Structure 1
Amino acid sequence: MERDEKELCYQMLNQTGRSFSMVIATLGDQFQYSTCIFYLVIRALDTVEDDMTIPLDTKLLLLRTFQQKLYVPGWNYRDSRSKDAVVLHNFHVISSQFRRLDKAVQCVISDTCRRMAAGMAIFLEKGFVIDTFQEWNEYGRCASGLMCLGLTRLLEPFKPISSQREQLAHSLGRFLQKMNIIRDFKEDTDDRRRLWPREVLVRTGNTHLTVDDLLQRANQQAALRCLNYLIGDALTHLPDVLLYLNAIQTPTVFPFWAIPQVMAIATLERCYNNPQVFEGKVKILRGGTAMIVQNCTDMATTKDLLRIYALKIVARMECAGSSDEAKDFLAVLKTSGVLYSD
Structure 2
Amino acid sequence: MGSLGAVMKHPDDLFPLVKLKMAMRHAEKQIPPQPHWCFCYTMLQKVSRSFALVIQQLDTDLRNAVCIFYLVLRALDTVEDDTSVATDVKVPILIAFHRHVYDRDWHFSCGTKEYKILMDQFHHVSTAFLELGRNYQEAIEDITKRMGAGMAKFICKEVETIDDYDEYCHYVAGLVGLGLSKLFHASGSEDLAPDHLSNSMGLFLQVA
Give the TM-score, by structure 2 length. 0.78
1:25 Cα shift?
Answer: 2.4
Aligned equivalents of 1:20, 1:130: Cα separation in 2: 28
Listed as ranges, the gaps of 5+ residues in structure 1 are 180-263, 265-342
User: Residue in 1 aligned with 2:199?
Assistant: 170
Aligned equivalents of 1:74, 1:57: Cα separation in 2: 22
Retained in 2: the 8 A contact 1:140–1:173?
A: no
1:2 Cα shift?
Answer: 6.8
User: Residue in 2 aligned with 1:142?
Assistant: 171
Residue aligned with 1:77, SS: coil
Overall identity of the aligned pairs, in %: 37
- In structure 1, give the amino acid aligned to 2:134: K
* Runs of 4+ with deviation above 3 angstroms: none
Q: Is 1:99 the counterpart of 2:162 in the alignment?
A: no
Retained in 2: the 8 A contact 1:70–1:98?
A: yes
Retained in 2: the 8 A contact 1:145–1:170?
A: yes
User: Residue in 2 aligned with 1:81?
Assistant: 111
- Aligned positions of 1:157-196 closer than 5 A: 157=186, 158=188, 161=192, 165-177=194-206, 179=207
User: Residue in 1 aligned with 2:55?
Assistant: 24
Aligned equivalents of 1:4, 1:64: Cα separation in 2: 29
Retained in 1: the 8 A contact 2:78–2:111?
A: no
1:55 Cα shift?
Answer: 1.1
Q: Is 1:120 the counterpart of 2:151 in the alignment?
A: yes
Aligned equivalents of 2:88, 2:135: Cα separation in 1: 32
Q: Is 1:69 the counterpart of 2:100 in the alignment?
A: yes
Aligned equivalents of 1:103, 1:15: Cα separation in 2: 27
- In structure 2, give the amino acid aligned to 1:131: E
User: Residue in 1 aligned with 2:8?
Assistant: none
Aligned equivalents of 1:117, 1:2: Cα separation in 2: 31
Aligned equivalents of 2:59, 2:134: Cα separation in 1: 20
Aligned equivalents of 1:70, 1:148: Cα separation in 2: 20
Aligned equivalents of 1:103, 1:61: Cα separation in 2: 25
Aligned equivalents of 1:39, 1:77: Cα separation in 2: 18
Which of 57, 75, 79 is the equivalent residue of 2:88? Answer: 57
- In structure 1, give the amino acid aligned to 2:170: R
Residue aligned with 1:54, SS: coil
Aligned equivalents of 1:140, 1:174: Cα separation in 2: 7
Q: Relative to structure 1, is the Cα distance of residues 71 and 25 closer, same or farther in structure 2, using a 3 angstrom cutoff?
A: closer
**Cα-Cα RMSD:** 1.8
- Aligned positions of 1:282-293 closer than 5 A: none
- In structure 1, give the amino acid aligned to 2:199: H
Deviations 1:69-109 (A, max 9, x none): 1122211112x133412221111110011001111110001
Residue aligned with 1:85, SS: helix
Give the TM-score, by structure 1 length. 0.48
- In structure 1, give the amino acid aligned to 2:76: L
Q: Which has the higher contact order (CA 8 A, sep 6+)?
A: 2
